[in-house]
Amino acid sequence: MGKLTKDMNEILPDFQKFLLDRSMASEKNVPFLAYWVSRYLTFARKRDISTDDYQEAAVIESLNMLRADEKILDWQPRQADDAIKLYYFHYLGKSGAELSPSMTADDVPLTIKEVRRLIRLRHYSYSTERTYLQWVERFFSYALTGEKRLADLTSTEFRDFLSHLAMKQRVSASTQNQAFNAILFLFRHVLGKDVGDMGNTVRAKRGLRLPVVFTVDEVRQLFSQMSGTYLLMAELLYGAGLRLMELARLRVKDIDFDANTLFVRSGKGDKDRSTVLPSVVKERLQEHLKGVKELHEKDLTAGYGEVHLPNALGRKYPNAGKEWAWQYVFPSSKISVDPRNGRVGRHHISDTPIQEAVKNALRKAGIPKHASVHTLRHSFATHLLQNGVNIREVQSLLGHKNVETTMIYTHVLRDMKNAPQSPLDALYGKQQ
């Protein structure tokens, strides 16, 4: 295995370095992408086909030959196709958007399309895709004024846009960082330009903010105003410390009732982790899943019942999307079309309904706090620490990369009964 990896790493080493330097593929996949390009180049040279440019007919022919090979898995020709496009459209300087010095603002739709294609090539989530595209469009609206062309855009416009967001729009630090990541993606992977040092950019600054946390009694009051599926979802958010989208994307296979464990797949930072499944919800959750299974069986009968699978699993296991284990625990009430592949199926529940349910319960309970769904996760961490759970264990359950992130809850935890006596109390105490 070691020699095979070594040999793979020696195939088109400059191309592999290019992919790694620009984070255009994961480290483990880069040698395989180089391998597929090498196979195509060998194929083209044997047929006296030019390898200087992207030859669509030759690529199609080579991929068809690949598909005819019984030893090749279903997903590998698609990986080969992606590899060849990365080689020609990016490594050789021929962007998929085919930017030229004459491109103007009228060519923005072509560039937007290329941004979307490259995002999907990297298997980013659909929410990330939408966010990136919105920021790219806002950047173009800001930067492409007058006679300015796409090819004229430089890091100067990039810095000016970020400064504009901080000084004129007064956006938060997290919003500006979101914009930064989206525009950086545009420059590196679509425009093929180095942004250089961004040190002169005016950045939105964020001071220390303590999270809003419910008391145990407030959680009880909140839940008393909820019922049904929304109560079950809120209880899991609090009882397992889940983020909202981690709950929405939870699949049947990710629940281990025997071990009282929930598995979070591809959470924040694309990391997996496990957390606790509260015993008190197990029976209701099992009953809920019976209804979900009945709905799934009806969908299958109607010709639907296929869910989106992460990364390349849909290509590797074509029928897995219809299996019960891969279904969402909290599916949408409606059938919809997946915008990424056009397939009709049942997606997971939207984040809006549970947000509204918690907001309404908060109002009915009369809890005077500026809280949200995420407050339940904050409360989970704080109450665990309050009960004596080790902070490293809490860090693991939350999926934090650094314990410093988890430490914020120790500030909230401070027992005010042991705080110094207020001088005002001392003042009136002396008078009494």
Q: Considering the candidates 268, 273, 284, 316, report the single residue annotated as catalytic.
A: 268
Q: Considering the candidates 90, 188, 243, 348, report the single residue annotated as catalytic.
A: 243
Give the C-alpha separation, 306 to 326, whole Å.
9
Q: Considering the candidates 189, 308, 383, 400, report the single residue annotated as catalytic.
A: 400
268 included as an active-site residue: yes
Contacts of 263 (CB under 8 A, 6+ apart): 254, 255, 256, 272, 273, 274
Cβ count within 10 A of residue 5: 11
377 included as an active-site residue: yes
**Local structure of 417: helix, strand or coil:** helix
Residues 377/243, Cβ–Cβ less than 8 Å: yes
Q: Considering the candidates 87, 91, 238, 409, report the single residue annotated as catalytic.
A: 409
243 included as an active-site residue: yes
Helix, strand, coil shares of the chain as percentages rounded to 5?
60, 5, 35
**What are the b/e assignments for 230-242, b being 16+ CB within 10 Å?**
bbbbbbbbbbbbb
Contacts of 398 (CB under 8 A, 6+ apart): 241, 377, 380, 381, 406
DSSP state string for 290-345: HHHHHHHHHHHHTT------STTHHHHSTTGGGSGGGSBSSB-SS-EE-TTT--EE
Give the C-alpha separation, 177 to 185, whole Å.
12
Residues 331/349, Cβ–Cβ less than 8 Å: yes
Tokens representing 393 are 């264990």
Give the C-alpha separation, 137 to 115, whole Å.
11
Distance of CA 429 to the CA centre of its chain: 56
Q: Considering the candidates 249, 346, 377, 378, report the single residue annotated as catalytic.
A: 377
Q: Considering the candidates 94, 253, 265, 374, report the single residue annotated as catalytic.
A: 374
409 included as an active-site residue: yes
Active site residues: 243, 268, 374, 377, 400, 409
